[in-house]
Amino acid sequence: MSIPTAIRHRGAVVPEAVISPGRPRVRQGHGAAGIIGRMPPFFTLSESGDLLPAPHARGPWAPDMLHGRLLGGLLARAIEREHGTPELRPARLTVDLYRNSRLVPLTVSTELVRDGRRIRVVDASVTGPDGPIARASCVMLRPGDQPPGRSWAPEPWNVPAPETLGEPQNSRDSTHDVWWFGKGDGAPDAAERRRILLRESHPLVEGEPLSPLVRAALAADLSSPIAHWSTSGLHYINADYTLSLGRLPEGEVLGLEAGGHLSAAGIASGQCVMYDLSGPVGHVTNVALANPRL
């Protein structure tokens, strides 16, 4: 049911299966939907419509600080619920994370900026007791015929099937399954291109399945550590991210592949390619600020 716009609602190296560039083959994960169904949600809705965060919604930087990736998920959820339509596909989501939030009740509001035949633009914001903490802008486009010709693209990562990977390499407080890929034990602080597969293990909001857009928005925030992690750890916290999608991802397992890191004077720019098990689906860029080491 549509909600009115202004309402308050609130690795180790493993064998890799080759994906044919002509006709990608989708491979399913094992039990991801069941895992999400059994784990507690990050947020519940109060009677007044506030989004109430659970204790496990905290991020890695401070014990009482909400994880930034959940804000992106809430913004994508609200945009999709308020303004999504089968005729238009989400193609770009920019999330600005300009204020840290404690684990407090939140509200999300949206605004329709442009509603054309081929393009729809929507803004959204998250507000807490102390004021706005994050915002997003989404561009939705109407699909059509694919033009002829080929454009240059880098060689895609041959995404491995999850069933070949064994147990996820989760930290004690991890709220999603993750597999790191690299030389040796796949440690994230290796001086090499980082790649991960990840699978959500908690619903974002109680009683709601994750849509492909919300799942991608949650994963996109992790482009910051993937792009900026160094041999001495993670020294940057992202202030934003932009997710651009050539198509919506399929399935519960998504991948991120580091595409580059540039930094000077404590300000960093990073990029990643996002994958599902059929191949690349889009790109994520972010800017980040130096922060005490994680």
User: pLDDT band for position 10 (50/70/90)?
Assistant: very low
Q: Residue 39: what pLDDT?
A: 87
CATH of the domain at 271: 2.40.160.210
Q: Residue 13: what pLDDT?
A: 28
Q: Residue 247: what pLDDT?
A: 97
Q: Is residue 9 part of a domain?
A: no
pLDDT tens-digit map of 223-269: 999 999 888 888 999 999 999 999 999 999 999 999 999 999 999 99
Q: Is residue 285 part of a domain?
A: yes
CA distance 140 to 130: 31
Total tally of structural domains belonging to the chain: 1
Q: Is residue 11 part of a domain?
A: no
Domain span including residue 232: 32-142+158-290
Q: Is residue 25 part of a domain?
A: no
Which has the minimum average pLDDT: 13-17, 153-157, 219-223? 13-17
- Regarding pTM above 0.75, the answer is yes
Q: Is residue 12 part of a domain?
A: no
Which has the minimum average pLDDT: 58-67, 73-82, 159-168, 236-245? 159-168
CA distance 274 to 294: 24
Instruction: Judge whether residue 118 has pLDDT over 50.
Output: yes
CA distance 193 to 36: 29
